[in-house]
Amino acid sequence: MDLSIPSLGPGRFASPLRFGGATETRFRTDEDRIYYRSHTKDADNGGVILSFEQAGPRETIFFEPGRTTVGIVTCGGLCPGLNDIIRGIVNQCAQQYGITKVYGFRYGFEGLVQRYGHVPLILRPESVAEAHNFGGTMLGSSRGPQNPADMVDTLEEMGVDILFVIGGDGTLRGAAQIVQEIARRGLRKAVVGIPKTIDNDIMYLDKSFGFETAFAEAVRAVKCAFTEAKGAVHGVGLVKLMGRDSGFITCFAALAGNNVDYVLIPEVPFALDGPRGLLESLRQRLLKRGSAVIVVAEGAGQELMAGAEGTDASGNKRYGDIGLFLKDRIGAFCKERKMAVNLKYIDPSYIVRSVPANAHDNVYCSRLAQAAVHAAVAGKTGMLVGRWLGSYVNLPMELVIKGRRKVDPSRELWHSVLESTGQPANML
């Protein structure tokens, strides 16, 4: 793995942080590193010990603050904490570095293409002062790629030196294309990503921002499902949560609620029929306990049904609705066996992603924003910021977009889920 961070060049100006505040700033250098592995088997990659560049302020910076223009764009689906990130970037630029010209591009990458006619917002500390109290994004968002050449044209025309891109896997791939186009033209512009996904599926991160808020909100839905299930004869509470390819939010919501009987995620296949299948296991559990709660990730069990055709605006394959599919199959199965069942189906997806960030995510977003600004003004580009093993690090964008983080069925998280639910380890 190449873990080096691209740079526009060495620092040319003394950082304003050298002269402000009563507390001495602890500057970082590119030689300050965080180990990739925390356990004793940390010699890999041909015997080389891998490490990430530690995030933080540099003593000299590449951009002259008074002459620097910044742009911010949010893309993809909504997620708790987007406004916190925007607010954090604007405040860090203005209050720590004296950068006062900050544009907010509206409605995702569309805002960087002039033919759409989305007029950028001028962002100042006073205009974002209350942004963190609201869900969603004050800049708006959109899905789907745009022509990198058109987007760089806009950056050039508006004199934007630094672009902060806030989004998930597809957004970061788009940001990487912007970096390539900037390099092709020989321009000196920095592009820094802040990874966003409530699915928590970004590679090489402890967690993505908004995840804790999202699964805390999901826990409320799971508790409602439990209440509904317990209040009926052979009651079943079925909850569908977000998670196209990774089941983290489903696993954490089940563990936090501690009242779930089955967790179904994309990483662990299951059968519906047969003596080991979900339906027969559910029937036995209802006979034994009288009720059951099932939590399923949206990407689970896609092989069991005819998936929707085509792709969405982000280029992702359209998935069938596993929640409604299970609802119908459970009902038909029990009816066939003349077993009364009271099933309540809950899909809180848009509620989960639209709420404001909680206090813990507030702090996380603020620190990610600070780290992103420190990196950008130092001339780092083609990278994103994140937290790894409890420390904030700079990660190469090209490395992160090569895959998605998934729940490993052989590791502790899934084993904890199995212990909590008591569900069969193998339902095939």
Token couple for 81: 């904490």
Instruction: Give one DSSP letter per residue of 241-275, joined into a string.
Output: E--SS--HHHHHHHHHH---SEEE-TTS---SSST
Q: Which residue has the tokens 């179904």?
A: 264
Q: Determine whether 48 is exposed, middle or buried from the number of CB atoms within 10 Å of its CB (0-12, 13-18, 19+).
A: exposed
305 with 284: CB under 8 angstroms?
no
Given a contact cutoff of 8 angstroms between Cβ atoms, the answer to whether 374 and 30 are in contact is: no
- What is the C-alpha separation between 49 and 96, in angstroms, rounded? 35
The conformation of residue 343, written as its DSSP 8-state character, comes to: E
Is the Cα dihedral 309, 313, 317, 318 positive or negative? negative
- List 84, 169, 199, 261, catalytic entry: 199
* Residues 250, 293 contacting (CB under 8 angstroms): no
Helices (H), 316-356: 322-336, 349-354
Q: Is 2 a catalytic residue?
A: no
Write down the residue that tokens 């902060």 correspond to. Answer: 164
DSSP-derived pairing of the beta strands 51-54 and 391-396: antiparallel
Residues 292, 254 contacting (CB under 8 angstroms): no
Helix (H) or strand (E) holding 137, with range, is none
DSSP code at position 189: -
Q: What phi, psi does 262 have (nearest 5°)?
A: -140, 135
The answer to whether 268 and 212 have CB atoms below 8 angstroms apart is no
User: How are strands ordered across the β-sheet holding 383-388?
Assistant: 33-35, 51-54, 391-396, 383-388, 190-195, 162-167, 69-74, 101-105, 121-122
Among candidates 301, 281, 258, which has minimal Cα distance to 423?
281
If you ran DSSP here, which 8-state letter would residue 107 be given?
A: S
**DSSP code of residue 56:** S
The arrangement of strands across the sheet holding 342-346 comes to 262-264, 291-297, 235-241, 342-346
Which residues are catalytic, by number? 199
